[in-house]
A and B are shown apart, each in its own frame.
Chain A
Amino acid sequence: MGSKTIPGIIVTTTALVMIAEGYLNVDLFKTVGSEFRAWSIIIAAFALGLAAANLARFHLVRVAKRNSGWYHNLACLIAMFTLGITGIFRGPKAPTYDFLYTNVYSPLSVAVVALTIFFIATAALRAITARNAGATILLIAAVIIMLSNIPVGDAISPMIPKFAAWINKIPNMAGQRGILVTSAIGSIAFGLRVLLGLERTQFGAGGG
């Protein structure tokens, strides 16, 4: 058996059990499905170890070679090892770990989220430049929706909030449902190919 046959068999068996668990009221499938989910957590933990090793190796090499911006890599390593060692030896509920999480990680994470506003501004500016018919429709719809969400929209014309509601409820909903239906069919087809062993990209094989 090839190196991709055994993983293929495992994938097919697991998928069949999980499908059966979803549609059949059989205790055996529920038990086995629950076990599989527990295994997936264990596998994820191992994968996290491999990923952390990749991260450490990547940054250590750059620091050792003094690549440009190596101090960023060093900062990443210090942060990773400080949090990692504190979490492993003191536990995730230890005051030190909690302090680092609350006062270092959380503010930085929120700061990155806050950056989104600047990207939204520049992206919106590019998007609403009426270069063609599609962009023009986008621009008109965006202006109507924005006006409907501020008091001045209603003051300009009571029709604006009504038209905005229509845009959301009819053309927007129709488009979304079309995408949902076709995505679901695409997903079924992809799942079937994986199930039948016809799709092996995930094992590193090329093509289908």
Chain B
Amino acid sequence: MIITTKLLSLTTLLVFSAIIYYQIRRQQQGAPLPWMRPIAGLAAIDEAVGRATEMGRPIHFSPGVGGIVDEEAGQVLAGLQFLSYLAEQAGRYNVQLIATMRNPVVYTMAEEIAKEGFARAGVPDAYTPETVRFISDAQMAYAAGVLGIFKREKPAANVMIGAWYAETMMLAEAASNAGAISIGGTARLFQIPYLVITCDYVLIGEEIYAGGAYLAKERVQLGSLMGQDWCKVICAVILAVGLITVTFGYTGFRSFIETWGK
């Protein structure tokens, strides 16, 4: 019944899920709060809001061009966590928020998330139809639309966290040219270098998923982060075992991973 070639993958998924769930439960039951490594990109979110407030210019946000029914769904949803926080902060400090969307499904979600964010800040009327904007579902048409927004509306801050493709470079660089502070983030390997060279702050890989824990400081999120750290320890141990066994000529461990880890 279980697809045998995926047995190791399933086991890993279940073990990691169990560890993360255990740590979440521990935090919910009041375990001591963990120390969190400061991540400059996450700390910069508040800086971006502050900058926009002082300059009286908008904040631009985008969760990238990915959808929510493909493998990048997690990245897009993680990006939307930042929209939730930004909408709340924008409402609190009376800053204009412009969220641009490429994917129609993500657009409908983003609308609700932004509305709730402004409502939490106590200013539901601050949300307008111009807050979340659907630009186009064609990648380059979307990029051209956002370039126009940067040129005309000159945002003070640009937060682009999610699933990015070929448009990464031009959007981040155009934001920089418009005088915006840029915070980028993605787990897509090929786009990370572009973000690194064009953005002021970058969230690399798993850091985009940690946004909720840092921004909301909720125990569920903190527990999840602790669980992730334990999973990383397990991965490091497996890597070390593989390294040592292969170095000393024992290939059994490697063969096991290659056979069952497809």
Contacts and interface: CB of A to CB of B under 8 A. Distances in A.
Nearest to B187: A183
Interface in A180-204: 180-183, 185-194, 196, 198-199, 201-204
B158 interface: no
Contacts of A204: 84, 112-113, 115-117
Contacts of A72: 148
Given A123-B197, A183-B187, A183-B205, A113 B224 contact: no
Contact of A47 (B1, B85, B105, B225): B105
Contacts of B105: 43-44, 47
Contact of A188 (B17, B75, B204): B17
Interface stretch (B34-42, B43-51, B129-137, B247-255): B129-137
A127 interface: yes
Interface residues of A, number: 65
B97 interface: no
Given A189-B227, A201-B77, A179 B205 contact: yes
A109 B138 contact: yes
A157 B114 CA distance: 56
B16 to A, nearest CB: 5
B contact face: mostly helix, strand, loop, or mixed: helix
A127 B216 CA distance: 32
B115 A202 contact: no
A206 B101 contact: no
B62 interface: no
B35 to A, nearest CB: 18
B2 A126 contact: no
Contact of A119 (B2, B69, B173, B218): B173
Nearest to A22: B6
B169 A120 contact: yes
B143 interface: yes
Nearest to B209: A186
B96 interface: no
Contacts of A61: 129
Interface in A139-188: 176, 179-183, 185-188
A208 B212 contact: yes
Contacts of B1: 24-26
